[in-house]
Amino acid sequence: MSLHQEISRRRTFAIISHPDAGKTTLTEKLLLFGGAIHVAGAVKSNKIKKTATSDWMEIEKQRGISVATSVMGFEYNDIKINILDTPGHQDFAEDTFRTLTAVDSVIIVVDIAKGVETQTRKLMEVCRMRNTPVIVFVNKTDREGKNPFDLLDEIESELKIAVRPLSWPINQGQRFKGVYNIYEEKLDLYTPSKQTVTESVAFNDINSSELEKYIGESDAKQLRDDMELINGVYNPFDSDQYLSGELAPVFFGSALNNFGVKELLDCFIQIAPSPRPVQTLERKVTPDEENFSGFIFKIHANMDPNHRSCIAFVKICSGKFERNVNYKHIRHNKLMKFSSATAFMAQKKETVDEAFAGDIIGIPDNGGTFKIGDTLTGGENLHFKGLPSFSPEMFKYIENADPMKAKQLDKGINQLMDEGVAQLFTNQFNGRKIIGTVGQLQFEVIQYRLEHEYNALCKWEPISLHKACWIKSDDKTQLENFKKRKQQYMALDKEGRDVFLADSGYVLQMAQSDFPKINFHFSSEF
């Protein structure tokens, strides 16, 4: 197969939603259809002992939520699909924001009863910034929920995107009979006990009297009325509008009961984009260029707890990656060979000899060689841009709770901070370590992972801070004066850069007006 053919058959996408909308369950069912797994796991279930493939960390299995992005690849109808299952919880939004820089399209899962929720709105803003194509999957149609037309209005107004239903529910909750697949013009009937599509009937004329045989008189009348309204109100599906991020096709189904998922997947592989061009600081990189290039969007420690290894996730942007070939690490300005790059199925890995634009591979990183945002190329100096960096909103001192395990604690903190889940600041005045995060739950996850993955115990102590800001100035004297005056609130980040830890908004405002020649940055990218 030529380079162009290999690249054009790839689909790399993320599944995003508010917590509990059914994102990880949908991922499992897609993997099931792709033959990647044989038994779908449940995210929350005491009866089913198998947990979701994408929720592989111990803490995820216990809490029933995703706390880190998982990458899974499989083949379906000769299309290579790469799914990234992201955390829905807002405390882990940072991981999700970065993941969205590495995908070509997105599926948003919306709960039919709850509609569009806060986290979904935020994630949609990131998609809009990058004009990422979006498909909406309305989940849990076998439960009582909102009127589908009201829900479409809500999606349009809340997510600020035009919609076009490509499937339509026939009733809902206890009376749910299936969906009419508008895209393929067929009737998919639902039988609760079987939990699958029991019957799929080609049906291009819903005015035919045959319809009553399948779904009864009142539902047939309702479906005809709904279809008339859909065709009158919504423009026909336009592939170009979808690809430019202006139109979202909408599907209805129930991921838990395996219903509507195959229809979503069949349509997705036809309309979703293959790898797209990516902007670097120097130029635009197109996928089918001969030369390899890619960037690191995520680092994960302890994919395999037995080996304490870190893995850097690389999104390939152009060309073809080959094992044991020299590639240039741009930040270090040196050539490196990778003999054991891996493809993923959550934490299961297999070594790959080659991978193409659109694929995501893992590179072992035992010496802290990589940072999020690093670029690898076949030799050209390129810098990929637009990896969102975050400004912490919550701060705590981290203290060693077991003096015998100081080394383990240091190693654990360093590796977890490299993942980008939180930021480490060392107070220049007293040398104490401060962790900054975007949410409370992150502190629990860090404490849990330090104990279970590094055998190190930590405790948290409160500290009242408002904001961390990186400071820089061309006026050396003013910078020194500022650092002397604010010495109790000065810290160094992991890269050794000066950070001012303001304890209130007022103090920050006063500092900015008293020291006009100092630049205060609220993200570490400047």
Give the C-alpha separation, 524 to 57, whole Å.
Answer: 28
More confident call, 487 vs 66: 487
Band (119; pLDDT cuts 50, 70, 90): confident
The amino acid occupying position 370 is F
Alpha helix stretches (DSSP H) within 80-147: 93-99, 118-129
3-state SS assignment for residue 304: coil
Q: Do residues 21 and 145 make contact, with C-beta atoms less than 8 angstroms apart?
A: no
Q: With 70 as the cut, is the pLDDT of residue 449 above it?
A: yes
- 367: exposed, middle or buried (C-beta count within 10 Å: 0-12, 13-18, 19+)? exposed
Give the C-alpha separation, 246 to 162, whole Å.
Answer: 6
394-521: same fold as 278-377?
Answer: no
Q: With 50 as the cut, is the pLDDT of residue 359 above it?
A: yes
Which residue ranges make up each domain of the chain? 3-179+236-271, 278-377, 394-521
220 membership: H or E segment, kind and range: helix 217-233
203-207, 291-295, 447-451: which range is least confident on average?
203-207
Fold of the domain built from segment(s) 3-179+236-271: Rossmann fold (3.40.50)
- Specify the CATH class of 278-377 in words: alpha beta
**CA-derived radius of gyration, the chain:** 25
With vertex at residue 254, the alpha carbon angle to CA 253 and CA 258, rounded to the nearest 5 degrees, is: 105
In CATH, the number for domain 394-521 is 3.30.70.3280
Residue-level pLDDT at 94:
62
What average pLDDT does the segment 412-426 reach?
82
Structure pTM?
0.76
3-state SS assignment for residue 404: helix
448 membership: H or E segment, kind and range: helix 440-454
End-to-end CA distance of the chain: 42
212-216, 466-470, 485-489: which range is least confident on average?
212-216
Q: Which residues contact 399 (CB under 8 A, 6 or more apart)?
A: 458, 459, 460, 461
Q: What pLDDT digit, counting tens, does each position of 153-184 carry?
A: 999 999 999 999 999 999 888 888 888 888 88
Give the C-alpha separation, 268 to 82, whole Å.
Answer: 12
Structure-token match 């930021």, residue found:
423
Give the C-alpha separation, 310 to 308, whole Å.
Answer: 7
Backbone φ, ψ for residue 141 (5° rounding): -70, -10
Q: With 70 as the cut, is the pLDDT of residue 526 above it?
A: no
With vertex at residue 344, the alpha carbon angle to CA 340 and CA 348, rounded to the nearest 5 degrees, is: 90
With vertex at residue 112, the alpha carbon angle to CA 107 and CA 115, rounded to the nearest 5 degrees, is: 80
Q: What pLDDT digit, counting tens, does each position of 195-204 carry?
A: 555 567 777 7
Give CA separation, 68 vs 22, 95, 346, 349, in Å: 16, 7, 11, 17
The amino acid occupying position 204 is N
Q: With 90 as the cut, is the pLDDT of residue 133 above it?
A: yes
Structure-token match 């800001």, residue found:
469
The partner residues of 201 in beta bridges, in order of sequence, read 187
Closest CA to 270 of 181, 359, 139: 181
Mean pLDDT value across the chain: 82
Give the C-alpha separation, 38 to 194, whole Å.
Answer: 18
Backbone angle region of 404, left / alpha / beta, with phi > 0 → left and psi within -120 to 50 → alpha: alpha
